[in-house]
Structure 1
Amino acid sequence: MRAADAAAGAAAAAVGAAALGVELPLVQAGMGGIAGPALAAAVSDAGALGTVALYKSDRALAAALVERTAARTPRTFGVNVIPEVADRLLDQQLDAVLDRADRQLTVNSYGLPPQSFAERVRAAGHRLLIQTGSHRDARTAAALGAHAVTVQGTEAGGHHLGGQPLAELLAELRADPAFDLPVFAAGAVGTGADLLRVLAAGAHGAMCGTLFVATAESAAHPDYRRDLVAAAPADTVVTDRFSIGWPGRTHRVLRSAVTDAPAPLPSALIAWTTVMGTRRPVPRGSAAAPTVEAEGRVGEMARYAGLGVGAITGVEPVAAVLARLREQYARALADAGVPDEARTPDGAR
């Protein structure tokens, strides 16, 4: 990597960090059932942007999640909403956020939200981060009033908003003179060197999900965390086999008997889990990820994982994961020949 590109990336990182009010321009993805208050608070305490997932929460549960996260950290954090699956709950979730927020938050929308939603977020003084999967949707997000956008490549774990690799998306936005929002890159960012790579390619920061699933504060099932530790990028696959409850999106997951079967396996009950306080069955093909409440054949559930999975070497506290990422980032800057005074954000010094 050329020193000039690395230095430009370091400067972009300062812009990304300022856009979200954090030290490190890194956003923890909102992962339904996995990203609870403990994980979100730990990430924020470590200097990045933690995110609590509201997923399909009703107003009461969304309010409780915001309150519990706020009680765990004095720092800013994010709340993740998914307009296409929340449906009629979306307004209830936003009502809860606006009612219970005791500081400026980042409302992180997976996909384009309604215009009225975006207007309410901005009017209340919160930041709006919209996750997209195409150049066109990033432009639409800007028109909606987003303060920043995330562009998600197909390298990312979880559900996909588009079908392009990350480098292609970043190149398109970089070449667009009319697009001037901070951009966060999602897809295969698991190390500090990966962070510098996307910064040098035109991003202002990154969004990571897989990296945080295996942490001590995650609400992922122990078997899911163990499988992530053992996995390599080749152990992931893009499929459409987990569409029950979230149709119409492909998703990157760990390989299993479900993904590798030449045809969809027969419908069957494979596990039980708890959703919004209620014990519910998990059919084969459900979009539900295996959380600590899951019991049954969790290896056949949707174990979302991106190509950055190879960076996971054990189940560790978030603080240790992000301390190592900061060290790796600083080392990558030094290896590229970037002088100390140009190494931003603060955590890279």
Structure 2
Amino acid sequence: MGGIAGPALAAAVSDSGALGTVALYKSNPEQSAALVVDTAARTRHTFAVNVIPEVAGRLLTDQVGALLANADRPLLLNSYGLLPEPEAARVLAAGHRLLIQVGTAADASVAAGLGAHGVVLQGVEAGGHHLGTLGIRELLAQYGQEPAAFVAGAITTGTDLLGALRAGASGALCGTAFVVTAESAAHPSYKAALLQAGPEDTVVTDRFSIGWPGRAHRVLRSPVTDAPQPLPATLIAWTSVMGERRPVPRGSAAAPTEEAEGHVEQMARYAGLGCAALRTVQPAAAYVAGFRAEFTAALAALRGDGTAAAVLVPTGRSR
């Protein structure tokens, strides 16, 4: 959600009682520092900073440094994919939390060895780039160790979360649902398309690989995904990144932010299978409140006694 999960959205989610995340994506050192400082100024609560080691490349060390140098409180580093050991050690030594997203049980074990406080098992139900080829339930069945396992993929309602907890998860990361919140920096037409979409309107493809090769990704269907052969990588749009205007070729991994101009419908509109539950744009706080109410009601119905004290999962652990 680089460019979409900015300081405004991260702060709004954290203020609502969940954990907001600001995405650094390909930000340079100055941009990364500005994103951390801006988010910290908007909320008094803990928030997460997301990095993508395989995309950031040599920028990664500076991005982690921006977190360490500008954090005014203990934060959480949310790494998409395994983090190099030296960077993990820097984060932990500075007293911050570490969450690592993976797509296989084997990588979850490596993440545990890096000292991660939690791992995120990302299933193919998720929107965006995929770290593996299995669904959430299969990953949970293969994962039976510490640290705590969260899941990502089609968790859009409180009822979805309850199902994940009962399957053995400790919590969830939600992405697609927050694209359509008021504080999201997604392009209005991207939000509108998500609000009209169902699971059948998404597809896993490799058509948006410019700038991020080698990863399949789930997006909304479009002329780009449905063409029998890849379409020419000609210029289709312009966008702005931290005030810098940039061209967008067809097939770019860049998501359409509110600054995008041109054929936005041909850009990478990432979307998970849970999009059918999204039908209105609302503030992040309202979405989180509704999510929490759905979870409480679903848990009370499951227990059958009107209370929501605990969830018993197959492992026997209480959540």
Shorter-chain TM-score category?
over 0.9
**Distance in 2 of aligned mates of 1:341 and 1:242:** 43
Look up the equivalent residue of 1:62 and give its one-letter code.
S
Question: Structure 2 matches for 1:73-112, cutoff 5 A?
Answer: 73-112=43-82
1:155 matches 2:122: no
Look up the equivalent residue of 1:39 and give its one-letter code.
L
Partner of 1:57: 27
How big is the shift at 1:334?
A: 1.1
How big is the shift at 1:266?
A: 1.8
Percent identity reads: 65
From 205, 209, 212, the equivalent of 2:178 is 212
**Distance in 2 of aligned mates of 1:93 and 1:78:** 13
Partner of 1:328: 294
**Distance in 2 of aligned mates of 1:115 and 1:91:** 11
Relative contact order: is structure 1 or structure 2 higher (C-alpha 8 Å, sep ≥ 6)? 1
**Distance in 1 of aligned mates of 2:55 and 2:165:** 31
Cα pair 1:330 1:343 within 8 Å, conserved: no
**Distance in 2 of aligned mates of 1:55 and 1:99:** 18
How big is the shift at 1:311?
A: 1.3
SS at match of 2:107: helix
How big is the shift at 1:180?
A: 1.4
Question: Structure 2 matches for 1:309-324, cutoff 5 A?
Answer: 309-324=275-290
Deviations 1:256-298 (A, max 9, x none): 0000111111221100011243111100000000001100000
Partner of 2:309: 342
Moved runs in structure 1, 4+ residues, more than 4 A?
A: none
Cα pair 1:150 1:185 within 8 Å, conserved: yes
Gaps of 5+ in 1: 1-30, 345-349
Gaps of 5+ in 2: 312-319
Cα root mean square deviation, aligned: 1.0
Q: Which moved more, 1:239-248 or 1:335-344?
A: 335-344
How big is the shift at 1:342?
A: 1.6
Deviations 1:59-80 (A, max 9, x none): 1111111111011110000000
SS at match of 2:303: coil
From 68, 72, 87, the equivalent of 2:42 is 72
1:144 matches 2:114: yes
Q: 1:191 to 1:88 in 2, by over 3 A?
A: same
Deviations 1:46-91 (A, max 9, x none): 1110000000111111111111101111000000000001001101
Question: Structure 2 matches for 1:249-328, cutoff 5 A?
Answer: 249-328=215-294
**Distance in 2 of aligned mates of 1:189 and 1:272:** 32
Cα pair 2:296 2:308 within 8 Å, conserved: no
Look up the equivalent residue of 2:133 and give its one-letter code.
G
SS at match of 2:27: coil
Cα pair 2:300 2:308 within 8 Å, conserved: no
**TM value normalised by structure 2:** 0.96
Partner of 2:13: 43
Deviations 1:185-219 (A, max 9, x none): 00110000000000000100001100000000000
Cα pair 2:125 2:136 within 8 Å, conserved: yes
**Distance in 2 of aligned mates of 1:119 and 1:128:** 10
Q: Which moved more, 1:268-277 or 1:147-156?
A: 268-277
**Distance in 2 of aligned mates of 1:91 and 1:40:** 22
**TM value normalised by structure 1:** 0.87
Partner of 1:181: 147
SS at match of 1:154: coil
From 213, 224, 239, the equivalent of 2:205 is 239
**Distance in 2 of aligned mates of 1:328 and 1:342:** 15
